[in-house]
Amino acid sequence: MIEKTEAIVLKSMRYRDSSRIVTFYSDRFGKISGIAKGARSAWNKFGASLEPLTYVALVLYKKEGRELHLISQCDTLRHHKNIQSDLERLPSGLAMVELLNQVTHEEEQNPALFDLLRGSLHALEVSSRGANSVFLAFALRLAGLFGYRPEFRKCLRCGGLLSSESGTHRILFSAPKGGFYCRSCSGHLDETEYEAFRGEKSVRRPDVAGIAGTPLIRISVPAAKLLERLSSVSMDRVTSLAFGDSMGNELLELVRLYLQSHFDDLRMPRSLTMFQAKV
């Protein structure tokens, strides 16, 4: 059956002598893969439409029960040339599509996730700053769409508001529970309850935050407040949330540990090696 849908290219790889296997995230079908015959030949009709990050109008011959479908036509709607040509933006764009590719299954429709990816790439394309902010906001919102929305507004223990915290001291963030403990509760957990937290024998002390699997992570109050903003403001305002290298690495590490605590066998995108050098 011939099907049409809007889609964003997640991955493109060579197949045999002249073709490509391309993975898309589409509006109608979720993640879907197809073969573009002749895409690497001299008479290639697809042009640059099969490059990762490209927003396209896709036509394919779709057969039920098959993992790969035949790509009939793929027309570029938006190439995202500013992302493709900018080493500040490209790592963030690639990290978004790599992350989405890992956490989704074939042909599970999720229009909200498609809209998130499309909107995040647009924000990255049109703004000359805040590339790292866009990726972090995307990752937090992606987690929310899978039911793992983190809570940055109030303490998990006492309900105290994050907005009432001041200074640059550090508090604790629970990766499994997706929320923070205020200064008072963090101190209490640190001194008397930490070893018994959730009854897990593998629980580590908070001073080893950064080790994969650590349930409680130390985070500065300014970083926690910035995460709350990144997860709540509209995507077109995310790029105005600037931060320095130290803060950026702190935020990236927390988001990495948070995602890995909720998505089994998640490998953080290789492009984040480039990204982390920029934040």
CB 52 within 8 A of CB 3: no
Backbone CA torsion sign across 188, 190, 191, 196: positive
Q: Tokens 């490509």 appear where? A: 20
If asked whether residues 100 and 190 sit together in one domain, one would say yes
CA pseudo-torsion sign 105, 107, 113, 116: positive
Q: What is the pLDDT of residues 207-226, one digit of tens each?
A: 333 333 446 888 899 999 99
Domain count across the chain: 2
Q: How many CB atoms lie within 10 A of CB 10?
A: 24
Query: Is residue 250 very low, low, confident or very high in pLDDT (cuts 50, 70, 90)?
Result: confident
Structure confidence at residue 276 as a pLDDT band (50, 70, 90) = low
Same domain, 70 and 102: no
Q: What is the pLDDT of residue 67?
A: 86
- Rounded Cα gap, residues 255 and 274, in angstroms: 16
Instruction: Determine the structural domain holding residue 133 and report its residue range.
Output: 84-279
pLDDT attached to residue 138: 97
Answer yes or no: do 106 and 53 share one domain: no
**CATH code of the domain in which 42 resides:** 2.40.50.140
Residue 201 pLDDT: 34
For residue 181, the domain's CATH number is 1.20.1440.120
Dump pLDDT digits (tens) for 88-130: 899 999 999 999 999 999 999 999 999 999 999 999 999 888 8
